[in-house]
Structure 1
Amino acid sequence: MAKSRKLADLQQLLDRVQATLPADAAVADLRRAIASKQAVAVARGAKLVAKHNLRQLAPALMAAFDPFLIDPIARDPNCLAKASIADALYRMDCREIELFLSGIRHFQLEPVFGGRQDTAPKLRSICALGLVRANYEDVFVELADLLADPEAPARTAAAQAIAYSENRERGVPLLRLRIRVGDTPTVLADCFTALLSLAPHDSLSLVAGHLDASEPEVREAAALVLGESRLPEAFELLRAWWERTFEPNLRSTALLAISMLRSKASVDFLLAFLAESAESELRGAAAALELLRPNAELWQQICTLLAARGLHPDTLSERHRR
Structure 2
Amino acid sequence: MAKSQAKSRKLEETLALLTPVRTDPTSEEAIVTLHQVLNSKSAIAVSQAAKIIGEAELYSLIPALVAAFDRFSINPTETDPSCQAKFRIAEALYRLSYSDEALFLQGIRHVQMESVWGGKQDTAANLRGVCALGLVKMNYPHVLSELADLLADPQPEARIAAARAIAYTATDQGVPLLRLRVQIGDQPSVISECLVGLLTLAPERSLSLVTRQLYARKASSLEDTELAEVAALALGETRLPDAFAILKTWWHQVKNSELRQTGLMAIAMLRQDDPLNFLLSIVTTGRLQDARDAIAALSLYRQDQKLWQRVCQAIEQRGDASLSIEKG
TM-score (norm 1): 0.93
* Cα offset, 1:306, TM superposition: 1.4
2:260 partner letter: R
Greater shift in the superposed pair: 217-226 or 22-31 = 22-31
Q: Indicate the SS of the match to 2:121.
A: strand
Q: Indicate the SS of the match to 1:110.
A: strand
Name the structure 2 match of 1:129.
Answer: 133
* Cα offset, 1:50, TM superposition: 1.5
- Pairing partner for 1:310 from 299, 306, 319: 319
* Cα offset, 1:248, TM superposition: 1.5
**Separation in 1 of the partners of 2:288 and 2:12?**
61
Matches within 5 A, 1:289-300: 289-300=298-309
Name the structure 1 match of 2:160.
Answer: 156
Q: Indicate the SS of the match to 1:308.
A: helix
Quick one: structure 1 residues 17 and 268, their matched pair in 2 at CA, closer, same or farther if it must change by over 3 Å? closer
**Separation in 1 of the partners of 2:190 and 2:42?**
34
Matches within 5 A, 1:3-82: 3-19=7-23, 21-82=25-86
* Cα offset, 1:32, TM superposition: 1.6
Structure 1 residue ranges, 4+ long, deviating more than 6 angstroms after superposition? none
1:286 has 2:290 as partner? no
Name the structure 2 match of 1:211.
Answer: 214
* Cα offset, 1:295, TM superposition: 3.2
Q: Indicate the SS of the match to 1:299.
A: helix
1:233 has 2:236 as partner? no
Flag structure 2 segments of 5+ consecutive residues without an equivalent.
218-223
**Residue by residue, what CA displacement relative to the aligned partner does 1:21-61 show, whole Å, maximum 9, x if unpaired?**
32223312221211123211211211121122211010011
Count of aligned positions:
317
**Separation in 2 of the partners of 1:101 and 1:25?**
33
What percent identity do the matched residue pairs reach?
48
Matches within 5 A, 1:237-276: 237-276=246-285
**Separation in 1 of the partners of 2:260 and 2:295?**
12
1:108 has 2:112 as partner? yes
2:294 partner letter: A
**Separation in 1 of the partners of 2:32 and 2:271?**
52
Instruction: Confirm or deny: 8 A CA contact 1:248 1:284 kept in the other structure.
Output: no
TM-score (norm 2): 0.91
Greater shift in the superposed pair: 299-308 or 111-120 = 299-308
RMSD: 1.8
Quick one: structure 1 residues 39 and 283, their matched pair in 2 at CA, closer, same or farther if it must change by over 3 Å? same
* Cα offset, 1:316, TM superposition: 4.3
Flag structure 1 segments of 5+ consecutive residues without an equivalent.
none
